[in-house]
Structure 1
Amino acid sequence: MATGMRTGENLDADEQKNLPQVVPSAEVAEVKRQPAKLPGYSQAAVAQRLGEAPEPPTPGVMYEGSHKRLHETGWHTKRYLKRKTLRVTNLQVEKKARKNTRTMVAVLISACSVLLVILVVLVSLQGFTNAVNQQYQGRVMTLQDILPRDNLKIYDAQGTMIYQTADQGMQTTLPLKKISPNLINAEIAIEDQNFWKNDGYDLTGIIRAAISDITAHGVVAGGSTITQQLVKNTIVGNKDTALRKLQELILAPQITRYYTKQQVMEMYLNTIYYGNMVYGAEEAATKYFGLHDNGKQTAAQQLDIAQAATLAGIPSNPALRNPIAYPKNSYKRTLQVLDQLYVQGYISGKEKTAAIQEIQHPNFIRPTNPPSEKAATYVNYVMSELQTNLHASAADLSRSGLTVKTALDLKLQNYAQNSAKLHVQQMTAHHITNASVVVMDQHTGAVSAIVGNIDPNDPKYGSFNVATQGYRQPGSSFKPYVYATAFQQGTASPGSQVLDAPLTIPMCCGLPSYEPHNYSMTYGGWMTYRKALDNSLNIPAIKIEQTAGIDQSLAVATKMMNISDGNGSKAANVYYGSPNITMVLGALSVRLIDNTQGYATFANGGVRIPYHAVNQITDQQGKIVYKPDTKGTRVLSEAAAFMITNTLSDNPSRNLEFGPCSALYLYTSSTSNCYAGNPGKVIPAAAKTGTSNSFVDNWTMGYTARYTVGVWAGNNDNSQMINVTGVDGAGPIWHDVQLYLNKDKPVQNFAGPPSTVVKSNGDWVLKK
């Protein structure tokens, strides 16, 4: 091939089209079927690939295919209308969706609000529950200790009740075993039929009560369980509020966790109010049916079905269902209780019928008031002693749950009261209108009788207790204290001689001289102090006071009577007046009970034991909370006490003034027999009389080996008596009371002389 001549491979496409078409040989054809081996990035390869792309269509050329209309006539209109309708529908759907969304949001908000409210309520309730538990937890745990206490009860030495407080209601607590099962069943049947099974509250009971209230358009049922009622009455109070009701519901389960059902029932039956100021089953059984503890069974144990049903019907409305004031209401309610007892299987139909018949009996209800107060004066003193010893007010004592056993001998008290009244009536011509008596056991200090007034019901003076409240001049009954001082000092003795003659005592500071006189205005000359004391002579008394000393004598007297200066003193036992030379004649004012204490000290050999009316105080559980101090204190020598007793019991020695058969001589026969030389049984007794200036106060003080008795007679208004001495006014009362105390008892002599005294010149003196 010539140089420059292009081969077919080097011709472009147009040039190749113009070449003559030569049919290739088989070999050539075989060669052409092989693809050209060109690099992919060469222009020729690119040109080849371009040739493989389909040619674009020629404008105006018709292609094969159908030329029919794709849609029927009106399709586009229908589509337009459908699209328009769809648009409206979509708008409605969208609007509804928006509304549903808003509703859903509102519901969600409401639900959240409700949940929030519930959460707040639950949190608040939990907080309230915690607050209630925190506030009352201590009271729940100590419920048995904070229950309302029984009313105060006072008994005499023999166990007879003489008084019980009633101003704050009466209650007597009993163990559950001493309360009739009839009452237990009746209370459960009408108040809380699921008591033994519930947790302190009863939802079915609450719902049932609510339905009853709604049906009746008023409150006709409470729905409170017995446990809730116990909580109301003892812990949260009885205000009729929802808050209180909620507190009940919270605390009731706590009660059931801390206490058994038996304990809850016991607390309930002992404290529930049964109307007419009575609380608990025992007092209710007594109040409405006249039942009493007979020693074998308590009143509450004796309740039968009818009585128990009647009581069980009261607590729901004590004001309107108590059987005394509203018998018809009580009867109607009792029938309801009996119905419930029958329905719940506690009683049979026969028992129900018998109970209804019993209720209809005219004497079924027997209203019973507490026994009348016995020994009112004594009780009043006991109350004052309780207030002093327990540091409590009368209001505190009223429902203290205390039981007080006193030293009172009720028979003795009544005897002394009647004796005082009788003798005062016999002395009306001498202008005596009143008398007072104190009886004391010198060995124990027990005061077994106090007559404060012969007529406790007297509207003017009846409430005044002369024995414990009246300060009176003791007259010559004060002399033994001065004599005892001298005997103790050894400056005088019963056998010492003294001149009973006119006496003038110079006074200081320009005051006129003091000239004492005997009551008889006569003088006996030389005599022994024994005779002078026994005949109550004033001149020898002044002389022995000068010998012993006024201050020293006062010290002995106040120690023996356990009194102190009342001028500005805050002590309970005091005297009034200024100690001076007239003290030995009774110028100081003292109480009868204190003077009796002094004579009891003589009787006990110079050992003073504090007097007391209260022997023992026990609490509601029977624990002793108080016993008096009976430990003696020596305040006078045994020798001086013996000499005084020996002198005051020397009846022959006092014949000069009183005669052989005076009231100071304890003989058992009549006065005429005594003067005839037949006194009967004679009881050794030491006694001393006293009459104050102007015959205002009249005393007889004395003792036997067993008892000390002090008697005062006079007038409440301090007016003068007429021609009366101690042996005439107070003496007969003292004589009668001492005889009563010693009757049917063997004669008992006073103790013999102690080793510190000896006989000298026929009388006793201190041993040197």
Structure 2
Amino acid sequence: MATGMRTGETPTPEEESTLPMVAPNNEVASQRRQPMKLPAYSQAAVAQRLGEAPEAPTPGVMYEGSHKRLHEPGWHTKRYLKRKTLRGTNTQVEIRARKTTRTMVSVIISAFSVLLVVLIVFVTYMGFANAVDQQYQGRVMTLQDTLPKDNLKIYDAQNTLIYQKSDEGVQTTLPLNKISKNLVNAEVAIEDQNFWKNSGFDITGIIRAAISDLTAHGVVAGGSTITQQLVKNTIVGNKDTALRKLQEIILAPEITRHYTKEQIMGMYLNTIYYGNMVYGAEAAATRYFGLHDTPTQTAAQQLDIAQSATLAGIPSNPELRNPIAYPRNSYNRTLQVLQQLYVQGYINSQQKADAIKEIQRPNFVKATGLPPEQASTYVNYVMDELTTDLRVKASDLSRSGLVVKTALDLKLQNYAQASAKLHVQQMTAHHITNAAVVVMDQHTGAVSAIVGNIDPNDPKYGSFNVATQGYRQPGSSFKPYVYATAFQQGVASPGSKVLDAPLTIQMCCGLPAYQPHNYSMTYGGWMPYRVALDNSLNIPAIKIEQAAGIDASLKTAENMMGISDGSQSKSANVFYGTPNITMVLGALSVRLIDNTQGYATFANGGVRVPYHAINLVTDQNGKTVFKPNTTGQRVLSPAADFMMTNVLSDNPSRNIEFGPCSALYLYTNSTSQCYAGNPGKIIPAAAKTGTSNSFVDNWTMGYTARYTVGVWAGNNDNSQMINVTGVDGAGPIWRDVQLYLNASKPALQFPGPPSTVTKQNGDWVLKR
């Protein structure tokens, strides 16, 4: 070991070099000691390493280094300015980044909002569309059946239009091929030029209309297609709201999917409003241009280019563009339609020029009203019958689309009306102011004429139909029902004898005795019932009523008139009055039409066919809606009926009361010729007169082998006539009408007796 080295110290390199060398084989050398190493993680090693760090420089002491300037003058200023500029640039970049971020966020939020709004609108629209579909789907599917129907039309037996119910407008539906192609083109050109191609609505049309409206600062054009207009007019209504417009747009494609364009056009042209209470092409052609159907063409088929352009210009504003009320507006609009027809290639320049010349003519528009109502009394009865048969209200018939074919003979109606008026005027001295007539075909029940009043325009009584509404006492015209009852029972026959003499009938319950009298206040003694009935004697009538029975006689009358079992729906259910012993003299009140039905049953061999004024009711498509019951029902035996007709047609038996040439005898020559023995052609007829108490009501009822006619004469206020019997008041009218009915026909005899009737003592009786 070196001198001075302490034990445990590690020699430095220098010290090591001074140490004495020892031989290798020396034990000490082999065991040379190494310096102690501390673990690197120990605190001592850490402290030792701290000691190896260089000492901090002493302040104020100069160290070795260069004292030359490292940067040129102004470098620090430039660096400052650069750093300032960089900071500004960085700030702007940060600002732009923040703005860009905010913009992007705003764009994203806006896009999301728009998407959300679109989604909400779409969901709302789909919900609304589904609701609209659910609400109107049924009406879309049945649109052709739910279109506004035509107005009610009534025709006579010869198919002449006698009445249209027009309080809710006039319309006549036609197939599209019965409407002029000119009108189809004009409507398409001005209302919906893309009609044949669009799906029900037209976006370009809506935009075009919106631009026109904005330009004009008001509503001058509509974007509705023809299909949308059809939807508006027939399904959703015409309220001017956005909701209704949206409904149109939703439903229009549905209409297009379910119907062809031709069907849509047909529905449109038949229902569109043309002003002046006119709907559809057919009614408009008549209303504005006086066109009428011909055997080969409808009025709508006859429309030319100018007329079609005029009509096509009306629907956009029917009130202000109809050519009757506003000809200048109509003219200007027609020019617009013609221009569109030309621009779209439907017409050429020459056709346009010719059409303009035509609309400039003074009489181009021919305003034509509805044809005058004919046979108003008959029509009023038809309306009553219609409401009863169909079980509807009269107000429901206006636009019902019904076509009513009646049994009316218009010439006969007018003749009967004139005859009744003439004879009433001739009897003014006898204080007769009115008369009513009913003509019936006993074989079919068809009512060919109804005169309910001689002056239907009379402000006080003209609207009252005496024939179908007035209950009047029938007088002796009721007697045949009682006689027929007795004949059917076999308790009497036409040849049976009866004493016509004063009669007193004791009444029960303390009532005074009843003493009937004949009209003449005279008595004829013993006579056949035939003579008693033909001369309207009251005493024999009371006696035969007692034999037949009041209840049985009333039942016969009800059965023959059809008012007991409800089979005659037009009649009342009961007579007016209380059946009693005076019933045979006509004490019960009855309508003329029901009494005529009873006599028509006599005329038809005892078989009642319900009377009717309506022969057939169809809808506007020709489908049958109603036909009357014309099935006959036997209500009187053939024997009793034959005997009654035989008695009532026995003119010689009437001579006592009426003379040989009375109004009940149908001869064709004059009365003077008849009395001179030259009556001319004789038409077999059965007839009976009737006069109520105090000359209030006057009747003549009777029939030939073809027709039954009933006539009433009197006063609407029930005031008394002056010395008038049935043969004088109602008789001449009855005779005139029967002669008119049979004038051009050969005379027909009544059928012969049935096998159940035989002659005994020169008159007819039932076989025993």
Q: Which residue of 2 aligns with 1:477?
A: 477
1:757 Cα deviation from its structure 2 partner: 1.3
Determine if the alignment matches structure 1 residue 299 to structure 2 residue 294: no
SS at match of 1:243: helix
Matched, 1:503 2:495: no
1:227 match: 227
Residue matched to 1:283: 283
Using the TM superposition, name which of 506-515 and 380-389 deviates more. Answer: 506-515
1:59-138 equivalent positions in 2, closer than 5 A: 70-87=70-87, 89-138=89-138
Structure 1 distance, partners of 2:102, 2:305, is: 68
Contact preservation (8 Å) 1:564, 1:575? no
Q: CA–CA distance in 2 between the matches of 1:11 and 1:440?
A: 165
In the alignment, which residue of structure 2 is the partner of 1:541? Answer: 541
For the residues of structure 1 that align with 2:234 and 2:54, how far apart are their CA atoms?
114
Q: What runs of 5+ residues in structure 1 fail to find an aligned partner?
A: 1-9, 29-36
Q: Following TM superposition, by how much is the alpha carbon of 1:19 offset from its aligned partner in structure 2, in angstroms?
A: 4.8
Report the CA distance between 1:563 and its aligned residue.
2.1
CA distance in 1, matches of 2:16, 2:215: 119
> What secondary structure, in the 3-state scheme, does the structure 2 residue paired with 1:318 have?
coil
SS of corresponding position for 2:601: helix
Does 2:679 correspond to 1:679?
A: yes
- 2:170 pairs with 1:192: no
Per-residue displacement from partner, 1:674-698 (whole Å, max 9, x unpaired)? Answer: 1111111111111000000000000
The answer to whether the Cα contact below 8 Å between 1:616 and 1:624 also exists between their aligned partners in 2 is yes
Per the TM alignment, residue 766 of structure 1 is displaced from its structure 2 partner at its CA by 1.3
Q: Which amino acid aligns with 1:704?
A: T
Between the aligned partners of 1:263 and 1:15, the Cα distance in structure 2 is 129
Q: Which residue of 2 aligns with 1:319?
A: 319
State the match for 2:251 in structure 1. Answer: 251
Give 1:392 shift. 1.3
TM-fit CA distance, 1:176? 0.5
Change in 2 beyond 3 A, CA 1:592/1:670? same
- Structure 2: distance between partners of 1:198 and 1:565: 62
Distance 2:54 2:692 in 1: 168
> Who is 2:658 aligned against?
658
Deviations along 1:555-585, one digit per CA (max 9) or x if unpaired, are: 111111122599xx99745310000000000
Matching of residues 557-706 of structure 1 within 5 Å: 557-564=557-564, 572-706=572-706
SS in 1 for 2:419: helix
Aligned to 1:551: 551
What is the identity, as a one-letter code, of the residue corresponding to 2:287? K
Write the deviation string for residues 446-491 of structure 1: whole angstroms up to 9, x where unpaired: 0000000011111111111000000000000000000011111111
Q: Which residue of 2 aligns with 1:173?
A: 173
TM norm structure 2: 0.92
Letter in 2 for 1:141: M
C-alpha RMSD of matched pairs (Å): 2.7
8 A Cα contact 1:573 1:594, kept in partner? no
TM-superposed CA distance for 1:509, in Å, is: 1.6
Aligned partner of 2:272 in structure 1 is 272
What SS does structure 2 have at the residue aligned with 1:515?
A: coil
Give the aligned partner of residue 207 of structure 2. 207
Matched to 1:227, the amino acid is T
More deviation in 540-549 or 336-345? 336-345
Query: Are 1:728 and 2:705 counterparts?
Result: no
Match in the other structure for 2:4: none
Shift of 1:71: 3.9
Partner secondary structure for residue 319 of structure 2: helix
Letter in 1 for 2:752: G
User: Aligned partners of 1:442 and 1:107: how far apart in 2?
Assistant: 92
Aligned length: 740
Distance 1:287 1:606 in 2: 50
Give per-residue Cα distances to partners, 1:55-77, cap 9 Å, x unaligned. Answer: 97987999999775544455445
The 8 Å contact of residues 571 and 594 in structure 2, kept in 1 or not, is answered as no
Q: C-alpha offsets along residues 328-352 of structure 1, whole Å, 9 cap, x if unaligned?
A: 1111111111111111111111111
Per the alignment, in what secondary structure is the counterpart of residue 666 of structure 1? coil
Counterpart mapping for 1:46-57 below 5 A: none
**What residue is the counterpart of 2:516 in the other structure?**
516
| Contact 1:171–1:278, Cα closer than 8 Å, also in 2 | yes
Contact 2:615 2:627 in 1 (8 A): yes
For residue 698 of structure 1, give the secondary structure of its aligned residue in structure 2. Answer: strand
Cα deviation 1:78-104 (Å, max 9, x = unaligned): 445544554455445444544444444
Change in CA separation of 1:573 and 1:462 when aligned onto 2, cut-off 3 Å: farther
Equivalent-residue separation in structure 2 for 1:575 and 1:70 (angstroms): 144
Question: 1:257, 1:608 → 2: CA distance?
Answer: 55
Measured against aligned partners, the alpha-carbon deviations of 1:292-336 in whole angstroms (never above 9, x if no partner) come to: 001110000011111111111111111111111111111111111
Q: In structure 1, what is the equivalent of residue 530 of structure 2? A: 530
Q: Give me the whole-angstrom Cα distance separating, in 2, the residues matched to 1:732 and 1:564.
A: 32
Secondary structure of 1:620's counterpart equals coil
Q: Comparing 109-118 with 242-251, which one deviates more in the overlay?
A: 109-118
Q: Which amino acid counterpart does residue 140 of structure 1 have in structure 2?
A: V
Deviates more, 1:518-527 or 1:752-761: 752-761
CA separation of 1:357/1:15 partners in 2, compared to 1, >3 Å: closer, same or farther? closer
* Structure 2 counterpart of 1:108, one-letter code: I
Give, in whole Å, the separation in 2 of the partners of 1:489 and 1:588. Answer: 23
- Residues of 1 paired with 2:130 and 2:572: CA distance? 51
Q: Which amino acid aligns with 2:279?
A: Y
Matched-pair contact (CA < 8 Å) for 1:564–1:571: no
CA distance in 2, matches of 1:98, 1:350: 72
AA at the equivalent of 1:549: G
TM-score by length of 1: 0.92
State the Cα deviation string for residues 257-309 of structure 1 (Å, max 9, x = none).
11100001100110111111111111111111111001110000011111111
CA contact (8 A) 1:190 1:340 kept: yes
Q: How far does residue 199 in structure 1 lie from its aligned partner after superposition?
A: 0.8
User: Do 2:562 and 2:571's aligned partners in 1 also have CA atoms closer than 8 Å?
Assistant: no
Letter of the 2:515 counterpart:
E
Q: Aligned partners of 1:58, 1:407: CA distance in 2, in Å?
A: 143
Q: Is the Cα–Cα contact under 8 Å of residues 690 and 698 in structure 2 kept in the other structure?
A: yes
Distance 2:748 2:522 in 1: 37
Contact 1:442 1:600 in 2 (8 A): yes
Identity fraction in percent: 80
Partner of 1:5: none
Counterpart residue number, 1:744: 744
Corresponding residue for 2:405? 405
- Whether contact under 8 Å (2:438, 2:710) holds in the other structure is yes
Q: How does 1:701-716 map to 2 (within 5 A)?
A: 701-716=701-716
Residues in 1 aligned to 2:135 and 2:34: alpha-carbon distance in whole angstroms: 105
Counterparts of 1:200 and 1:176, CA distance in 2: 19
Q: Secondary structure at the match of 1:690?
A: strand
Residue 539 to residue 205, structure 1, CA distance change in 2 (3 Å): same
Q: Is contact 1:703–1:709 with CA below 8 Å preserved after alignment?
A: yes
* Whole-Å separation in 2 of the counterparts to 1:570 and 1:611: 9
Distance in structure 1 (CA, Å) of the matches to 2:441 and 2:401: 29
- CA deviations on 1:385-438 (whole Å, 9 max, x unpaired) are 000001111221111111100000001001101111111111111111110000
Question: Does structure 2 retain, via aligned residues, the 8 Å contact 1:500–1:523?
Answer: yes
Secondary structure of the structure 2 residue equivalent to 1:321: coil
In structure 2, the residue corresponding to 1:139 is in which secondary structure? helix
SS of equivalent residue, structure 2 residue 297: coil
Aligned residue type for 2:725: T
SS in 1 for 2:320: helix
d(CA) in 2 for partners of 1:12, 1:324: 139
SS at match of 1:575: coil
The match for 1:31 is: none
The CA distance in 2 between the partners of 1:606 and 1:315, in whole Å, is: 60
Query: Following the alignment from structure 2 to structure 1, what is the Cα–Cα distance between the partners of residues 341 and 116?
Result: 47
Distance 2:709 2:596 in 1: 7
Q: What is the rounded CA distance, in whole Å, between the counterparts of 1:267 and 1:280 in structure 2?
A: 9
